[in-house]
Structure formats: C-alpha cells, structure tokens
Amino acid sequence: MTAAELAERFALSVHGDAGAVVSGVATLAAARPHQLAFLANSKYRNQLPGSHAGIVVLRAEDAELAPHTALVARDPYSAFAKIAALFEPRPPRPAGIHPSAAIDDSAEVSPEAHIGPFVSIGARSKIGPGCVIGPNCSIGEDCSLDADCELQARVTLVARVRLGKRVRILPGAVLGAAGFGLAMEAGKWLNVPQLGGVVVGDDCEIGANTCIDRGALDDTVLEEDVRLDNLVQIGHNVRIGAHTAMAGCSAAAGSAKIGRYCLIGGAAGVLGHLEICDKVTITAMSLVTSSIREPGEYSSGTPLTDNRTWRKNAARFKQLDALARRVGASSKETE
Amino acid sequence: MTAAELAERFALSVHGDAGAVVSGVATLAAARPHQLAFLANSKYRNQLPGSHAGIVVLRAEDAELAPHTALVARDPYSAFAKIAALFEPRPPRPAGIHPSAAIDDSAEVSPEAHIGPFVSIGARSKIGPGCVIGPNCSIGEDCSLDADCELQARVTLVARVRLGKRVRILPGAVLGAAGFGLAMEAGKWLNVPQLGGVVVGDDCEIGANTCIDRGALDDTVLEEDVRLDNLVQIGHNVRIGAHTAMAGCSAAAGSAKIGRYCLIGGAAGVLGHLEICDKVTITAMSLVTSSIREPGEYSSGTPLTDNRTWRKNAARFKQLDALARRVGASSKETE
Amino acid sequence: MTAAELAERFALSVHGDAGAVVSGVATLAAARPHQLAFLANSKYRNQLPGSHAGIVVLRAEDAELAPHTALVARDPYSAFAKIAALFEPRPPRPAGIHPSAAIDDSAEVSPEAHIGPFVSIGARSKIGPGCVIGPNCSIGEDCSLDADCELQARVTLVARVRLGKRVRILPGAVLGAAGFGLAMEAGKWLNVPQLGGVVVGDDCEIGANTCIDRGALDDTVLEEDVRLDNLVQIGHNVRIGAHTAMAGCSAAAGSAKIGRYCLIGGAAGVLGHLEICDKVTITAMSLVTSSIREPGEYSSGTPLTDNRTWRKNAARFKQLDALARRVGASSKETE
C-alpha cells in the first residue's frame, strides 16, 4: 500500500512522499522502512525522530518531526486501527460443516456458515449466514446466531442464547449457563429454575473464559457493541447498556443494570440489584455497592505501599471511627 | 396446572379460584393471565395489585392484595422454585454412548448413563447410572461419578476426582488439576507432585469455568450440598463444609478450611492454611487473612466515592498511622 | 525404595535403618509404616514423635525426634518433592495421533508426539517431539511447541503462540486470543487488530482456565520458568520475568512489565504500562497502580473485621482527608 492509497481510503493527508510503500505495521520503536507506525500518545513523541518506519500516522502538530513520510489524522489511533486491519491475517473459514460435527436434526444451519470439527448443535438452534463456529464449540437447545457471528473455539452456549449480528466470542466463554439462584429450605439449598435466556446485541464481543448466565425469568441482556474482556462474570438478569466495556476479571452480580458508554475497570465488581447510569467509569478493583446516578469516575480501595507501612496504617483503619470521635472531641475542646 | 393441584402438591392454601390454570411462570410485572408469579420481597408488594398473573404465590399477609388467585406459602420463594421446576425445559438425554466418544477399555460406564459427543473417559474411571456427560467433556484416570451426576459440556475432571450423587457441574469447570505446589531450589521452581484427589459430596453444584485443584497428599474436599458459582478458584487441600455457597470470582487458597452454612461473597478471598467456622458470611471482595472463630458477617475494603474524593482520602490512608499518633499526642496535650 | 537408595539418589544422609522400605508418600499425620513423610515447617514438629511414617525427610536438628528412620536434608521440602515425584502416577501417553484428530495438511507433528482425541491443529503449526496434546485441545494457525510440552486437555492456542521446551498447560487455558484493544470512533468501538503473538519460555507452567492474550504489535512474553496458577489474566504485551510466580485469580493489564523472581499474590492486580522490578512480592488482593523500583513486599487494602465495625470505620474513610486537615489545624492550635 502506498501512502497515497491509504490517505485516500481513510481520508488522511500525506506529509512527505505520497509514493512511500508499506507492507505491514509495527511500533514506532521497532518499525522498519517497509512498515507503518503511529504516534497517538505524546509520551512517545521522542521516539518519532529516530523511527525507521516508512510511514507514521500522527496528528498535524507532530508532522514536522516525522523523519520520513507521515499520514496526518485527527485521531491517529483509530486511523492506525483501520490501516492495521488491512494487514491482519484472516485464516480461511470456508462455508460448510466438518464431518465430525454433531448437529441435531431440528437445528438450522445456513449453508453459508462454517462449522468446525467437534462441534455440537442442539435442538431448534439456528446458525445464520457467515457465522464461523470454531472447533469444540457446543451450542445447546433453542439458541440463535444472526449473520456473521464468530465463536472462535470451544465456546459453549448452554440454552436460549440469542446473538445479534457480528457477535464475536473468544475461546472458553460460557453463555447461558444457569444463574446462581438458590433458596434455602429445611437446611438445604433448593435450585431456583433459571428459565430465561441471554440476549446479546449486534457487534458485541465477549472475552476468553468469560461467563454470562441466563436469566431466572426474564433474560440477561447485552445491548449492542458491548465489549467484555477475559474472565468476566455476568450474573443472571444483568443488563449492560450499549457501548459499555468491562475489563478483565470484572463482574456484575445478578440483576445489576449498567448504563451505556460505561467503562468498568479490571477486577472491579458491581453488586446485584443496583443501577449505574450512563457514562460512568469504575477504576480497577473498585466495588460498587449502591446505585450511581451521576456520570463520572468512581473508585474504592487503598493505595499500595511497602508492606511494613501498610501494616501500620491498616491496623489504624480498625480504629478509624474511634480516632474520628476523638478528633471530634479534641477539636471541640480546642475550639 | 390448576391452583388446586399446585396447592395439594406443595402443601399450600388457595385464596381465590382453585380452578385457575397456569402453564408457565413469570415475574409479577411481566406475568400474563396463564402464568404464575410470586411475591417474596415486600419491596415489590406495590406490583401485586396491578399484576396480570393468574396465580401469585405469596405470604398470608399479602393474600388480600392479590388481584386474582393466590397460593399462600410460608416461604413463597421456595414454593415458587419448586413450582417453576415443573415448567423447566428438560432436553432429552437418553441413555447411551455417542459413537464419537473415546472411552478407555478399563473404564466402566453404566448402561443407564448418557455420554455425549466428543467425550473422552480415561483408565479405571466409573460413570454411574443416570449420569449425563455432555459434549466435549474429558474425564481422566481414576475418576468416579455416583448416580445422577451431570457434567453439562466440556467439563474436565483431570484425575482422581470422586463425585457423589446428583453433582451438577456447569460448562468449563476443571476439577482435579494439579495444585499450585512449588519449591524453589537453586533459583528454579521445582514442582511438588500433587498426589491427592478431589472429593465432592452429594448434591454439590459447581459453576462455569470454576477450578478445584486436587490435593497434594490428602484430598481437596467439598462436603454435601456445597454451591460454587462461576469462575471460583479452590486451591489444593481446601475443605468446604456442607451447605456453604461461594459467589462468582471468589477464591480459597490452599489448605483453607471453610465451615458449614457459610456464604462467601463475590470476588471475596480466603487465604491459605486458615479456618473459618460455621455460619460465617464474608461480604463481596473482602479478604480473609486470619482464622474466624465466631459466626457472623465480616468485611474489608473501603467505600466507593467519586474518584476525586477517593484520591484525597486514599492519600491520607498512607498517613494514617502518623495521623493516629498525632491525635494521640494532641489528645494528651489537651487533657 | 529403601532409605539407602533414596539417600544416594538425592544426596541425603540416613539416620536410622538404611534398609527401611517405602512405597508411597503421605503427610506426617496420615503416613503409615510403608510411607515416607516430611517435616519442613517447624509448626508441625509436634507431629513427628507420633508419626507412623517409615521414613521422614527432615532437617538435621530434627533427626533425633524421628521415631523411625530419617533422611536428613538441607531443604526437606525440595527433597520431598523430588522423592514424591517417583511415586506420581504417569498415565501412558504413547506417541501417535488419535484417529479423530483434525490436523491441517500444512501442520507438522513430530512422530514422537501424542495427539489425543478431538484435537484440531491449524495451518503451519508445529508440534515437537515428546509433546502431549490432550483431548479437545485446539491449536490454531502459526503456533509452535518445542520438545516435551504438555497441553493437558481442551487448551486453546489461538494463533501465533510459541512455546519453549517442557511447557505445561493445564485444562481450559487460552493463549493467544486477541488482546482487549479498542478505539472509540464516532460513538462506536473499533477493534485494534492484535497482530502480535505469545512467546512462552522453557519450563513455564500455566494454570487451568488462565488467559494470556497475544500482543497488539509486539509479542506477549513469559520468560523461562514462569508459573501462573488458575484463572490468571495476562493482557496483551505484558512481559513476565523468569521464575516469577502469580497465584490464582491475579491479573496483569496490557503492557505491564513484571520482573524476575516476583511473587504476585492471589487476586492481586497490576495495572497496565508500568514496571515492577525483580524480587517484588505483592500480597493477595493488592492493586499495583504505579511502577515499583525497589525489591520488597507491597500491599494495599484494609483488614477484615466484623461487618458492624467495618461499616463504622469505612464510613470514616470517606472523611479521612477532612479528618487529617482538622488534626493538622487542631495540632497547630495546640502547638
């Protein structure tokens, strides 16, 4: 690809040699002359003058520093993402059903879908055109996949899971398992039947080994373009608003409602039966214990220190109320 | 089912039309005339008068508010759970072995068990009558499943895992993998062989993608009716008492002993080599760092606030010991 | 094995009957006369005199207390680990390819490798001699396994994963899935292509259901002898130094660099784009939010207390800055 071709395709402007050719992408530091790199974070600006990249995607104000050809973008990171996609290997997944697949007679598989080896598909489930079902996936009863979904490998859809268009699910994810619904009776646990399903909107992406339980009566719902990282836990009847992203190891307990355009940090938790409004950011490893009604960034936890300092301070945490009372008293005395 | 039939079957009393017929269950808010709903939490009492549910299961004191037929129960949630089970779809899992299954000659599979596609069963393992082994499960050597266990899909029992009766394991769970036992020698890690197994009592339920490691010398043990949610980690030689429930993403490190009837909250952690007595509740994301000898509810962590406030307070946490000393001094000075 | 044979093999000295014979290992408390036990932690010394173990591995200073034969070691735990390995069952995994396996024509599988049932191997991937690929594993495109790797069962290597020698991966782990790289454009998420791979050094071990994402441009790297427990999350472009161990449910976010000989506690988190130097210990459930440049032990969090006490203290955490200011003022007043 030449700089000119990329500029035209992605509405960028060329600064330097429009005929510069690249055949791949790399970081500013590692790129070689036939590769394209990007500069989005000013923290890395000092790497720009010495970069060997044949083309660098960057903001207008950095163009002068580029040692070779530059492509000027308003948002270099997005522009880079789109260019890099041109160089992404796309292993062929031709339409057709692997002979080993075990497909129920009542399932409907589009002739334009790819069904890999060791895949099972249960009664009444439907696989739309363009879908790719990788090796060792198991799809249970009454599931449906709209067009162009990808289940990469050993994804399990247990029952009543409905995916929109272009949903991508990474290996090991489990959707539609029974929610953790228990009642105690006479000293023993009684399972509360989980009769709902899971509904996943268009363009959602679900990370590796992530779990999304099916609802108890109503469905568990992800609106469109929700992004879940790896090892995320979504309890039954949770609802996640469009364009919300949850980082690795985060969790939302049963019946929590998370708004649109939220960012839930790694290993953060959201308790059940509460609501988070749109555009809320929760920082890593924070715990949300009550509803949030104002957009913004929220946190809990304490800062990391060396263990000896931490022990002294943590011991004082146990006395915090007493300390505050004492200060209150002391303060009054000195007034 | 008529109200009268349900009342007789589950020892409830009818308030209203004993001939009312339902063919499914739903929430109070969503139920239609042919459906049954329940009211257990008084928070939802205001939904009762307007509900279209043909039958509502509720407590005696709420019966007057029911717009249609009511079934009066001492514990409406348990009663509802049992009624809902009547309407739960039960996909057929007929006895027999799928032709694709790879079963060792020395394994013993009951003719009354269901073995799904792409299942492997290793040497000397035994599958009892009524067991359901779903697609892509792998069972290693020397495992045994007593009657009526269910491994839903791609569950792995690595080695020396013994399940009691009616154990249910959700997709992706791994039982019997080697515990994390390491010794450092001459600057390199040395594996400590994990020669024990995993013993799971009757009626336990294990969540999706949950891991239970096998013991180093003795076994890792779950007593009967233990309930583990998804993505839970149980280290080697842990012992969990009967009827204890652990919520999603919680973890117990090696050799921890957790009592009976405990509730471990989501993402809570229990360090190794300690004991928690019976009837202890640990709230979400709390960390248990020493033994607990008194029943009750325990917590750690700090409350969520907006990030700006949190930053100010968190910075002060680092000074907490100094602050307390100062208050001690100040307090003495003012005395 | 006789005490004399073990002593010679592992360079230990016998105290007592050199002809004592054992055929297995057990704990001090449970061992019977034909079993060998060990005493490494002085906490268990009181179990020694009453132990029925035929042989006990221990330190010189404990030898006199041994009721039967003792093997004296400088590091009894390491010595025990090596002896116990002699008694570890090693299920046969003969070389050869299970007839059900689906292997791409361009893949290269050593004739000395074992490929189990329901395994798929993608284009251009290479499996070295002595490798064991257990049931239901899926290996994608462009992966390579050097000699003597073990993928126990349903491990997934998505793409561009390169394993060194003797790498062991427990069931359910996912290596090489796309990292969580997103750019927001016009109100929608845009995937940033993840073009890098995963490189795992010799002698690494990866726990059950653990995830290691592939890099965005460069690779995600584990140096040699890294040990990851179960349910660990490693983001794209993370680098983990040799001999570092991470306990269950811990996580490192994208581009974090963790040094050599570090110990990351259970459920601890490391934010992205920071560096941790060699020989750092992070205690359980702590969060590392900035780079660490000094070896040592680090912690965050608050201690566990009964919930009532915790509530009072946690409420005061929200006032901590105000409290400190007040003490500052008060302190000045009293000066």
Q: Which of B25, B78, B248 sits opposite A185 (nearest CB)?
A: B78
Residue B224 C-alpha, separation from nearest chain A C-alpha, in angstroms: 10
**Token pair of B233, please?**
């980690």
Closest CA to B195 of A326, C87, A166, A10: C87
Residue B314 C-alpha, separation from nearest chain A C-alpha, in angstroms: 5
Map residue A86 onto helix, strand or coil: helix
Q: What percent of chain C has pLDDT over 70?
A: 98
∠ at Cα A316 (C277, B335), nearest 5°? 140
- Cα separation, B207 vs B264, in Å, equals 14
Neighbours of chain B (3+ CB pairs under 8 A): A, C
Q: What is the pLDDT of residue A17?
A: 96
Q: What percent of chain C has pLDDT over 90?
A: 96
Q: Which of A85, A245, A321 sits opposite C182 (nearest CB)?
A: A245
Q: What is the pLDDT of residue C42?
A: 87
Q: What is the pLDDT of residue C335?
A: 43
Tally helices (H) and strands (E) across chain A: 4, 38
Question: Are A302 and C302 a contacting pair, CB within 8 Å?
Answer: yes
- Cα separation, A277 vs C122, in Å, equals 44
Close Cβ partners of C35 (under 8 Å, ≥ 6 residues apart): C22, C23, C24, C25, C26, C53, C54
Angstrom distances, CA of residue A136 to CA of A115, A155, B138, C127: 10, 7, 12, 20
Q: What is the mean pLDDT of residues B221-246?
A: 98
Q: How do residues A79-108 score in pLDDT, each as one tens digit?
A: 999 999 999 998 999 999 999 999 999 999
Complex ipTM: 0.96
Judge whether residue B334 has pLDDT over 60: no
Judge whether residue A318 has pLDDT over 60: yes
Angstrom distances, CA of residue B226 to CA of A282, B242, C265: 32, 6, 26
Q: What is the pLDDT of residue A335?
A: 44
Average pLDDT over chain C, rounded to whole?
96
C98 touches chain B (CB under 8 A): yes
- Cα separation, B243 vs A36, in Å, equals 59
Chain position carrying tokens 């997709």: B171
Task: Give the confidence band of B328 by pLDDT, cuts at 50, 70, 90.
Answer: confident
Judge whether residue C213 has pLDDT over 60: yes
> For chains B and C, what is the number of CB pairs under 8 angstroms?
233
Residues of C with Cβ-Cβ distance to B187 under 8 angstroms: 243
Q: Which of B170, B266, B310 sits opposite A299 (nearest CB)?
A: B310
Neighbours of chain C (3+ CB pairs under 8 A): A, B
Closest CA to B272 of C232, C229, C279: C229
Q: How do residues C56-76 score in pLDDT, each as one tens digit?
A: 999 999 999 999 999 999 999
Angstrom distances, CA of residue B182 to CA of A7, A229, B136, C205, C208: 55, 30, 31, 11, 16
DSSP state of B82: H
Q: What is the pLDDT of residue C130?
A: 98
Count of CB atoms situated within 10 Å of the CB of C202 = 17
Domains of chain A: 3-86 (3.40.1390.10), 155-298 (2.160.10.10)
Judge whether residue B248 has pLDDT over 50: yes
* Surface-to-core class of residue A259, CB atoms within 10 Å of its CB (0-12 exposed, 13-18 middle, 19+ buried): buried
Q: What is the pLDDT of residue A203?
A: 98
Question: Are B19 and B4 a contacting pair, CB within 8 Å?
Answer: yes
* Surface-to-core class of residue C89, CB atoms within 10 Å of its CB (0-12 exposed, 13-18 middle, 19+ buried): exposed
| B-proximal residues of C, 242-271, CB under 8 Å | 243, 245, 247-249, 266-267
Tell me whether strands B198-200 and B174-178 are parallel, antiparallel or unpaired. unpaired
Residues of B with Cβ-Cβ distance to A184 under 8 angstroms: 78, 243
Task: Give the confidence band of B4 by pLDDT, cuts at 50, 70, 90.
Answer: very high
Judge whether residue B332 has pLDDT over 70: no
DSSP state of C2: B
DSSP state of A65: G
Best residue of B136, B202, B225, B308 to probe chain A, by most A CBs closer than 10 Å: B136
DSSP state of A130: T
Residues of A with Cβ-Cβ distance to C120 under 8 angstroms: 116-118, 135-136
Judge whether residue A331 has pLDDT over 70: no
Residues of B with Cβ-Cβ distance to C209 under 8 angstroms: 172, 174, 209, 211, 231
Angstrom distances, CA of residue B189 to CA of A18, A64, B182: 54, 51, 6
Judge whether residue A332 has pLDDT over 70: no
Q: What is the pLDDT of residue B335?
A: 44
* Surface-to-core class of residue B334, CB atoms within 10 Å of its CB (0-12 exposed, 13-18 middle, 19+ buried): middle
Alpha helices by DSSP H, chain C: 3-10, 76-86, 307-317, 320-334
- Cα separation, A231 vs A172, in Å, equals 9
CA dihedral in degrees (A249, A253, A257, A259; nearest 10)?
A: -10
DSSP state of A2: B
Q: What is the mean pLDDT of residues C225-241?
A: 98
Residue B300 C-alpha, separation from nearest chain C C-alpha, in angstroms: 4
* Surface-to-core class of residue B41, CB atoms within 10 Å of its CB (0-12 exposed, 13-18 middle, 19+ buried): exposed
Chain position carrying tokens 């509740």: B281
Q: What is the mean pLDDT of residues A110-135?
A: 98
Cα end-to-end distance, chain C, whole Å? 76
Region for B301 from its dihedrals, namely left if φ exceeds 0, alpha if ψ lies in -120 to 50, beta otherwise: left
Close Cβ partners of C61 (under 8 Å, ≥ 6 residues apart): none
Chain position carrying tokens 């016009």: C186
Tell me whether strands C296-299 and A305-306 are parallel, antiparallel or unpaired. antiparallel
Residues of C with Cβ-Cβ distance to B142 under 8 angstroms: 89
Q: How do residues A270-309 score in pLDDT, each as one tens digit?
A: 999 999 999 999 999 999 999 999 999 999 999 999 999 9
Query: Are C217 and A311 in contact (CB < 8 Å)?
Result: no
Q: What are φ and ψ of residue A55, in 5° steps?
A: -135, 140
Close Cβ partners of A137 (under 8 Å, ≥ 6 residues apart): A116, A119, A120, A151, A153, A154, A155, A156, A157
Q: What is the pLDDT of residue A6?
A: 97
Q: What is the pLDDT of residue B163?
A: 98
Q: What is the mean pLDDT of residues A23-40?
A: 96
Task: Give me the amino acid identity at A282.
Answer: I
Q: How do residues B147-178 score in pLDDT, each as one tens digit?
A: 999 999 999 999 999 999 999 999 999 999 99
Close Cβ partners of C111 (under 8 Å, ≥ 6 residues apart): C95, C129
Q: What are φ and ψ of residue B3, in 5° steps?
A: -55, -40
Residues of C with Cβ-Cβ distance to B174 under 8 angstroms: 170-172, 208-209, 230
Judge whether residue B3 has pLDDT over 60: yes
Q: How do residues A136-157 score in pLDDT, each as one tens digit?
A: 999 999 999 999 999 999 999 9
Q: What is the mean pLDDT of residues C10-28?
A: 96
Q: What is the mean pLDDT of residues B76-86?
A: 96
C114 in catalytic set:
no
Angstrom distances, CA of residue C17 to CA of C4, C57, C148: 9, 13, 38
Question: Are C98 and C92 a contacting pair, CB within 8 Å?
Answer: no
DSSP state of A266: T
Q: How do residues A189-246 score in pLDDT, each as one tens digit?
A: 999 999 999 999 999 999 999 999 999 999 999 999 999 999 999 999 999 999 999 9
Question: Are A289 and A271 a contacting pair, CB within 8 Å?
Answer: yes
